[in-house]
Structure 1
Amino acid sequence: MKPILLQGHERSLTQIKFNTDGDLLFSCSKDNIINVWYSHNGERLGTYEGHNGTVWTLDVDSESRFMVSGAADNTLMLWDVQSGKCLYVWEFPTAVKRVAFNQADNQIVCITEQRMGFQCAIRVFDIDRSGDGTNQSKEPRYMFNPIGSKATVCDFTYTPDVIFTGHESGKVALFNVKTGEEIANNERAHGDTVNDLQMSKDYTYCITSSKDKSARIHDTKSLMIIKTFTTETPLNSAALDPKRPYVLLGGGQDAMSVTTTSLRQGKFETRFWHKIFEEEVGRVKGHFGPINTIAVHPAGTGYASGGEDGFVRMHHFDESYFKTDLYGTGNIIIED
């Protein structure tokens, strides 16, 4: 499985994302720019320039018409994917750390940082899809401050007006965005900061990865922990393979201690775990520093990882990946 090395960023990657069709890969990093690539050959299609600080997060709608990005320059930007034009800018008192579209593509949720006396805030904006997209509302449809530990990641669930959040304390929660009320929480979902959250295709479960060296699959309605994958290194990102029973985990030692560590000890590999058996089944090496973000192709044909080293590595799975016996060699006999 030879990777395609994508060199378009000068600093460490913060998030990568495939579009719904899987033909485009979007990447953002600490160098202020967002790149878009063809996923089949790694060719760079274009660059979105406009932010004046680290771009922490991005998301693209299901039609690949609009993209939204949040950055350390305290702005949230809406882009036209095709032309690369910035259509609208929302400004906040603090940095935007996470952003996500809902399933209908008509709303976005964003988290702004708790800093300089400002509380962590979650805002939901309506996206006007009529016309050229420049006519957006400046004010959020809903806004609230989560009580207690600050939120680090969020996404919409399949229940209307309910979002799933991960927090600095390690808890996960469900919030009603209309009232700002916390509907349910699991205080002990993780023992440390939740670094990443990725939903399954049908939004019924999701995977979170944490600084506490574990990734967990949660039911998005009851918040029950379904599966746990424990490693010996902090995890920055975890992704679900939509077609095979595998999860992909990426992380590595904290960036500050990387210089004192050899590659082998740093654990900078992408790890493949069996989703059902909770066993590690393989590793893919390559990055020269911690893996910050992982995304799996929507068709399950490959995956991409973005690292502290500034590289995106795009892998297309070999034939052998699809031919492996998923549940051991024994045949399952179903009796009438």
Structure 2
Amino acid sequence: MLRGLHKTGSKRPTPGINKCGSATSSFGIKSKRKNATLWPDPTLEHNFKGHKDAVTSVDFSSNMKQLGSSSKDGVVMIWNMKPQRRAYRFDGHEDSITSVQFSPSGDLLASSSKDKTVRLWVPNMKAQSTVFKAHTATVRSVNFSEDGQTLVTASDDKTVKVWTAHRPKFLFSLNQHINWVRCARFSPDSHLIISSSDDKTIKLWDIKSGECIHSFYEHAGYANQVDFHPSGTCIAAASTDNSVKVWDIRSCKMLQHYQVHSGAVNSLSYHPSGHFLLTASNDSTTKILDLVEGKLLFTLHGHQGAVNSVAFCRTGDYFASGGSDEQVMVWKTNFDERSDTPKNHRSTTPTYQASEPAQTAVKIVRDHGGGMHTNAKRSSSSSSTSTNPRVHHAQHAQHAQPCQPPLEVAQTLERPTTPSLTNALENIIGQLDILTQTVSMLEQRLTLTEDKLKECLQNQVESQTFLDEESWNPDAPY
């Protein structure tokens, strides 16, 4: 049974930075959007079991007839969405599989592995595949371009490589990362590539020139996964510092910063409308973020252990999650059932707005004050499961970090009615920008200090070792 949470009756605090260090909107302007509790609960539709180790990646085919998953057990599974049809099990890789993705047409499924290879599977019973050695180390991710003609791969050999898809042929390599590359993704128009690395950078590449356009820095951790907004104007990053960050690639400024997870964030996926972001974490939860309001909508408890991968389907009606508990779960979003939203209405324009401050989502039992408590039921077509998935509503924005929005975003905000208020808000924004820059400088200096301290300690250890060796020398004069 899925257990929902009704909204709390607490008042919203004043916009600003709270004592926990999590910042809310610096604009202090209410959004025009209606209450988030109008969104219905997601429902668990399928629970697939077949892997013998942690699931590492999931992806839907474009026609929603199949769902691909990969695992540390070295097997690719193709799950048929119709319960009466059997799943396909593809063996071929010689080590753990790190990533899978369907081509846009659905006629191929690509998989990457620790065995340094990439395989292109025909997703049918014959399980035909083409294999090629893509890198000199573990291949962490594989991604098709929007037209399905090219592939981009990321590897522990510190490179990002681009290939032709149907007849694999190496095209070029991107080589500026100085540590393992965790993820690489094409932009929706296939003109750009975004990559994330253990060197704590996220790099934006121009495909035609092969040059790095800009580097975004993750000082507190590295990004496990990055992805483009459907509009191609923004990117989101799932970080090991438990955060989710959204940047505008035109202004190169951070738009939003979410601190909603209590463990490293492993994966994320944009809803096709661009209004929602799905995240997965080591804290055993999957969360849905409302990017327009800058708030957490749902927290889903279904997996036992880390959730390693999430993905929306091409239409956004369903999403899948895979975890270390060896299970693959398919959920229905139910976004089209919202009472104030026309069915099949999908906007592709990102319209981020300043949001109200956050309230932490907690488990709330049914109260007697008239609050609504929902019980979302599993679909009758779901497979049996030993887990007890729970869906938590979140009432307000969850730690959305203040940052300067792009011009078209700023224009969507309501304007203050008095000049004095305008000046006050501008002063606050300016002070927050200065604080952000100061913190960034302090982090850089702290990193340098730590490096120097490590070097001094290492020199001290080496010096002490040398003295110890001299003291033990039997030929040394007394």
Fold equivalence (TM over 0.5): yes
Q: 2:321 aligns to what?
A: 249
Residue 2 (structure 1) aligned to one of 63, 86, 91: 86
Shift of 1:9: 0.6
1:48 maps to 2:119: no
Shift of 1:147: 3.8
Residue 200 (structure 1) aligned to one of 271, 295, 298: 271
Q: 2:297 aligns to what?
A: 226
In structure 1, runs of 5+ residues without a counterpart are 115-119, 129-135, 253-266, 286-336
Answer yes or no: is the 8 Å Cα contact 1:99–1:108 preserved in 2: yes
Q: 2:151 aligns to what?
A: 67
Answer yes or no: is the 8 Å Cα contact 1:271–1:280 preserved in 2: no
Q: 2:101 aligns to what?
A: 17
Q: 1:105 aligns to what?
A: 190
Structure 2: distance between partners of 1:243 and 1:184: 25
Shift of 1:40: 3.2
Residue 126 (structure 1) aligned to one of 206, 211, 219: 206
In structure 2, runs of 5+ residues without a counterpart are 1-84, 335-374, 386-478
Residue 240 (structure 2) aligned to one of 168, 171, 184: 168
Q: Deviations over 1:287-329 (max 9, x none)?
A: xxxxxxxxxxxxxxxxxxxxxxxxxxxxxxxxxxxxxxxxxxx
Structure 2: distance between partners of 1:111 and 1:175: 13
Answer yes or no: is the 8 Å Cα contact 2:188–2:231 preserved in 1: no
Which residue identity lines up with residue 186 of structure 2 in the other structure? Answer: F
Q: 1:273 aligns to what?
A: 331
| RMSD of aligned Cα (Å) | 2.3
Shift of 1:63: 1.3
Residue 254 (structure 2) aligned to one of 160, 182, 185: 182
Q: 1:235 aligns to what?
A: 307
Shift of 1:280: 5.2
Q: 1:191 aligns to what?
A: 262
Shift of 1:103: 0.9
Shift of 1:173: 1.3
1:35 maps to 2:119: yes
Same amino acid, percent of matched pairs: 21
Q: Deviations over 1:67-89 (max 9, x none)?
A: 10000011110101132111101
- Higher normalized strand content (fraction of residues): 1
Structure 1: distance between partners of 2:102 and 2:296: 26
- Compared CA separation, residues 39 and 203, structure 1 to 2 (3 A): farther
Answer yes or no: is the 8 Å Cα contact 2:197–2:222 preserved in 1: no
Q: 2:226 aligns to what?
A: 154
Q: 1:144 aligns to what?
A: 216
Other structure's SS at 1:141 match: strand
More moved, 145-154 vs 59-68: 145-154
Shift of 1:214: 0.6
Residue 87 (structure 1) aligned to one of 168, 171, 177: 171
Structure 1: distance between partners of 2:305 and 2:197: 27
- Higher normalized helix content (fraction of residues): 2
Which residue identity lines up with residue 106 of structure 1 in the other structure? Answer: H
Q: Looking at both structures, which has the greater relative contact order when contacts are Cα pairs under 8 Å and sequence separation is at least 6?
A: 2
Shift of 1:273: 3.4
